[in-house]
Structure 1
Amino acid sequence: MERSSLECLAALLPLVTVACATPAAYHPQKDCAAGSTGACVDWGDELVQRGAKQEAEAAYGQACEGGISTSCITQGRLMMERGELEGAEHPLRKAYLEEFPEAYEALADLYQARGGPQEREISRELRFDAPAIDKPAVEVVYHYRMGYPGSLGGALTLNVQPMALLSRRLDLGFHAAFGTGPTELNGFIGYQHFASSWAVPYARVMLGGIPGAPLGQGLNYGGELGLKLCAGPLGHLEFAVGSSRASPLHASVGLGLNALLLLF
C-alpha cells in the first residue's frame, strides 16, 4: 500500500511541477503576438491600466478577430472615446451579429454620436431590442403554486416570445394548473416590460377551460401579474400572483428554461 502511494506521488510530481512552472512563462504581450487571443485580452487590459488606450485597441482588435466578441465591444468603445466613429463600427458590428446586448447598446451609442435623424432612429431601435435580444424565443416554466386558503399545487407554462412580437414585449402560450383547485387548461396573451436585461415584469390575460366541470360551467378566465429574473438565454426565475375562475387567488414561484435546452 505504501509503495503504491509513493508511486502515485512520483507520477503526479512532474504534473505539479509543470503546472507551477507554466504561469511563470506566461507573457501576455509575446503570447498575443504569437496568436493567443486570450493573451491579447490580458495584454489589452494591462495596457488600459497603464493608460495606453490606443495600443490596447490593437490588442483587443486581435482578440476580436480571433472570435472574442467582448473584446470587439471593448475595442469599439475605446475607438469611440477618441472620436474614431467610422472605425469603431466594424468591431461593434461583429459583436452585434453575435447578439450581445452590450453590443446593441454600444452600437446605439455610436449612432447617437453621429447625430443625424436616421442615425437617432436606428439608435432608438437598437436600445429597444438590446435587453431582449439574448432571451429565448420559447420558454418552458414549471411553477410551485399556492392557492388561498392554503392549497398547494403546480402549473406548467409554455411561453412563446419571438423578437417579431415587439422584440419579445408581447408573449403568448399555454398554461396548465393543477392541485390548488380544479384543473385549468388555458391559453394566454401578455405584455412584458424590460425594466433591464434581467428584470422583466409582465401581465397576462388567460382564457380556457376546466376539464371535468359540469355542463355549462367549464369556461375559465383570469389574469396574472409577475416578475422574471432572467439569466440571459438559459432561463429565468419567476414570481407571480393571479386570479382565475377556477382559482380565485394564487401565488407561484417558477423556474423557466430555454425550451431548446430541454431537447438535449
Structure 2
Amino acid sequence: MALLAVMAPLLVACATTQAVPRSTSCEEGRLWACNEWGEQLLQDGDRSQAEAAFARACDGGSERGCLALGRLRMADGNLAAAEAPLVAVYETDSEEGALALADLYEARGGDAHAREAARLRWEAPALDKPPFDFAMQYRVGAWRPSAALELNIQPMAFLSRRLSIGSNLAYTSRGISEFNGFVGYQHYVNTWVVPYGRLMMGTATSDSRSPGFNVGAEVGTRLALSYLGHVNVGVGMSRASGNYLSVGVGLNGLFVLLALLHVR
C-alpha cells in the first residue's frame, strides 16, 4: 500500500503532462522535430513556415531536412535556392539526393544541364557502395569443392563503379589451387541488383586440376547492401577449377581493415 501511495502521484503527473510542441523542440535544436514540424506545416498549407523549419533542420546537418527543403523550393519554382541543400545531400553519397539534383538540372533546361542530369542519374545507384571490398566465396564444381578469397576494387573514378579490378585466390582441401588477377564490368539495374561479369588470368598451382597458366571467367549477380557490402551468386570456369557455381559474401574493405587493426 505504501508503494501505491508513492506511485499514484507520479502516474497522474505522467498522464497529465502534455507533449512538448514540435515547434518548441525545433527551436531548441532538435532536428527531428524540425522535420516533423515542417511536414505538418506543409499539410496545413503553410509553405513559408515549412520552408523555415526545413531550413533549420538542414542548417543543423539533417539530410532529410535538406532534401525536403530543396524539393519544396523546386516545387515553388525557386530553382536557384534549391540547389545548395540538394548538393549537400548529394555530397553525402545519397542516391535520393543525386536523383533530386538531377531533376533540378533537368528543370533548368538546356543541353549542359541535361548532360549534368544524365551524369547524376548514372552515378546515383553506385554512390553508397564501398570503393573496395573483401569477399569470400564457396564454389561447387565439377572438379571438387573449393573456396576463394577476393579483393575487388571499384572506386567512383572507374566509370562510376561499373569497372572493377582485383585479385582472387582459390583453394581446396589439397591447398591453394589458383591465384588470379581480374577485370570486370557490372551493371546497376538499380541500387540493389548488380549483374557482373569478369575475366580472370593468373597461375594454377600443382594442387589444381591443370597446373600452369590459368584463365577463366565468371558471371553473376550481386545483391548490394549499401556501404556494408554484398552477397552474390555466380557461375564460372577456369583451367584450374573447371566449371563451378559460387555463392559469396563481401564486406566493405574499410570495415575489414579496421577489424584487423583492432585485433592487432
Q: By the TM > 0.5 criterion, same fold?
A: yes
Q: Distance in 2 between matches of 1:213 and 1:262?
A: 29
- Secondary structure of the equivalent of 2:68? helix
Per the alignment, residue 244 of structure 2 pairs with 250
Contact 1:147 1:180 in 2 (8 A): no
- TM-score normalised according to structure 2 size: 0.86
Does the CA contact (< 8 Å) of 1:159 and 1:174 recur in 2?
Answer: yes
How big is the alpha-carbon RMSD for the aligned residues of Structure 1 and Structure 2?
2.7
* SS of match in other structure, 1:83: coil
Shift of the 180–96 alpha-carbon distance from structure 1 to 2, 3 Å rule, reads: same
> Following TM superposition, by how much is the alpha carbon of 1:78 offset from its aligned partner in structure 2, in angstroms?
1.5
Q: Give the drift of 1:23.
A: 8.5
The alpha-carbon deviation at position 63 of structure 1 amounts to 0.7
Question: Conserved in 1, the CA contact under 8 Å of 2:177 and 2:207?
Answer: no
The 3-state SS of whatever aligns with 1:207 is strand
User: Identity across aligned pairs (percent)?
Assistant: 44
Deviation at 1:133, TM superposition (A): 1.4
Q: Specify which of 135, 139, 155 is matched with residue 133 of structure 2.
A: 139
Q: Deviations over 1:120-153 (max 9, x none)?
A: 111111111111111111110111221137x433
Q: 1:188 aligns with which of 161, 177, 182?
A: 182
Distance in 2 of aligned mates of 1:53 and 1:140: 48
Separation in 1, partners of 2:179, 2:23: 61
- Give structure 2 stretches of 5+ with no counterpart: 259-264
| Match 1:156 to one of 135, 149, 159 | 149
Instruction: Tell me whether 26-35 or 49-58 shows the greater mean CA deviation.
Output: 49-58
Residue of structure 2 in register with 1:169 after alignment: 162
Displacement of 1:109 in angstroms is 0.6
Task: Report if the CA contact (8 A) 1:192-1:201 is conserved.
Answer: yes
TM-score in terms of structure 1 length: 0.86
The partner residue of 1:74 within 68, 72, 78 is: 68
Question: Over residues 94-113 of structure 1, what are the superposed CA-to-partner deviations in whole Å (9 max), with x where a residue is unaligned?
Answer: 11222211111111110000
Deviation, structure 1 residue 59: 1.2
**1: CA distance, partners of 2:72 / 2:157:** 33
> Do the aligned partners of 1:146 and 1:180 also contact (CA within 8 Å) in 2?
no
Aligned residues: 251
Q: Which residue is 2:261 aligned to? A: none
Deviations for 1:172-201, whole angstroms, at most 9, x for unmatched residues?
Answer: 000111228871111100001111111111
Structure 1 spans left out of the alignment, 5+ residues: 1-8
For residues 206 and 18 of structure 2, the distance between their equivalents in structure 1, rounded to whole angstroms, comes to 72
| Match of residue 36 from structure 2 | 42
